[in-house]
Amino acid sequence: MTATVYMADLRSSFKDNLFTKIARLLERVGLADGIQPKALTAIKLHFGEEGNASFIRPILVRPVVDAIHALQGKAFVTDTNTLYVGTRSDAVSHLETATRHGFNFPVLNAPVLIADGLRGNSTRSVKVGLRHFSEVKIAAEIYNADALVVMSHFKGHELPGFGGALKNLGMGCAGREGKLSQHANVSPKVANKRCVGCRQCLAWCPAGAISLNEESGKAVIDNDLCVGCGECIVICPQNAINIRWNETIPVFQEKMVEYAYGACHGKRERSFFINFVMQVSPACDCYGHNDMPIVADIGILASRDPVALDQACADLVIAAPGMPGSALGAEIAPGGDKFRVLYPEVDWQPQLVYAEEIGLGCRSYVLEKI
């Protein structure tokens, strides 16, 4: 099987700008086939943690809303609460952050709502019968939506290697319980030789699982309290926190993909995926900062197949020359696997292999430039 991935480059003119290009992408992926009149259509986004500036700009969501309205669908813009302490861990702070980042009615022409409720426990069970989960807990308003448009900022990520459509669908559409079960086998350890006792990981840990040993002055993780969110791994400025990558990463990726399968189960024919390969930062928009991009902006890609879409985006980033002065260091030659340079222990491919195996999509694609 081969999927079609449509790509708009970022050249622009008076006649054809980013807005007309996004509208054309939606036409080409057949949005009209999936949106019936009055269809409650979830536009799944990531509103960005406070301090981050690399999330998808709200104004670029507007053409998606307009296209859904033109088909007489009812659009709403949505995301789920986070596991970790931050500015999006409950619906109130999440909506405040979204508003501050420009995700509001005057810009979007659609309401914003948090799909898993006030505290992240508003979910519905979806039977999947897969290797790790017999059922998954999907955010209620994603489950309840008639159709789904998943808009993802494509960038690096410390656990799956990159974050794209599968990550946005799998982790991003899960309620709190679902996020926890995906992270359950991520149990980090502190390397005492590297730890300088700066306490940054203590402040960031959502579970209060890290303390400082009074005698040694080093951080200690209580595995009974740890929920495996993985945040401390990236937060530590000394790279003192690590996990057993070989055992952990493939299982984490498979669980994430099973959730992705569940998130669009029942509306697979009414699910559409758009990846923005722009401001490709090394890490997730969940952090309150975004390091400089690792490649120049590449384009906007869309498909009905999230697996082919992520594969195509990864291939384009790898093929591009790396950005001098970025987190890639000296390894900027075109063709180098930039995700492996950023996260040497993480193989990003298992998520795509497993997603193909369970029938979520295929890795083989034809890239059609529009």
The 223-242 contact track toward ligand SF4, x by CB under 6 A, reads ---xxxxxxx---x-x-xx-
Does 85 bind ligand SF4 (CB under 6 A)? Our answer is no
| Binding-site member from 28, 60, 197, 353 for ligand SF4 (CB under 6 A) | 197
Does 159 bind ligand SF4 (CB under 6 A)? Our answer is no
Tell me how many residues contact ligand SF4 (CB under 6 A).
28
Residue 324, C-beta contacts closer than 8 angstroms, at least 6 positions apart: 332
Q: Which 8-state DSSP code applies to residue 6?
A: E
Does 195 bind ligand SF4 (CB under 6 A)? Our answer is yes
Amino acid in the structure at residue 87? T
Closer CB to ligand SF4, 241 or 312, in the complex:
241
| Shortest separation between residue 221's beta carbon and ligand SF4, angstroms | 5
Does 306 bind ligand SF4 (CB under 6 A)? Our answer is no
Does 362 bind ligand SF4 (CB under 6 A)? Our answer is no
Does 49 bind ligand SF4 (CB under 6 A)? Our answer is no
- From start to end of the chain, where are the E strands? 3-8, 40-44, 74-79, 112-114, 123-127, 135-139, 147-153, 155-157, 161-163, 189-190, 210-212, 219-221, 241-242, 271-277, 299-303, 365-369
Residue of 340, 287, 288 lying closest to 318 (CA atoms): 340
Closer CB to ligand SF4, 231 or 285, in the complex:
231
Does 171 bind ligand SF4 (CB under 6 A)? Our answer is no
Dmax over Cα atoms in the chain, in whole Å?
68
156, 164, 291, 314, 319 from 335: Cα distances, Å: 16, 19, 21, 11, 4
| Binding-site member from 93, 109, 121, 200 for ligand SF4 (CB under 6 A) | 200
Q: Which 8-state DSSP code applies to residue 322?
A: B
| Shortest separation between residue 213's beta carbon and ligand SF4, angstroms | 10
Residue of 62, 18, 150 lying closest to 8 (CA atoms): 18
| Shortest separation between residue 175's beta carbon and ligand SF4, angstroms | 17
Does 263 bind ligand SF4 (CB under 6 A)? Our answer is no
DSSP 161-220: EEESHHHHHHTTTB-HHHHHHHHTT---EE-TTT-----HHHHH-TT--EEE-TTT--EE
Does 160 bind ligand SF4 (CB under 6 A)? Our answer is no
Does 185 bind ligand SF4 (CB under 6 A)? Our answer is no
Residues that bind ligand SF4 (CB under 6 A): 188, 190, 195-201, 204-207, 209-210, 219, 221, 226-232, 236, 238, 240-241
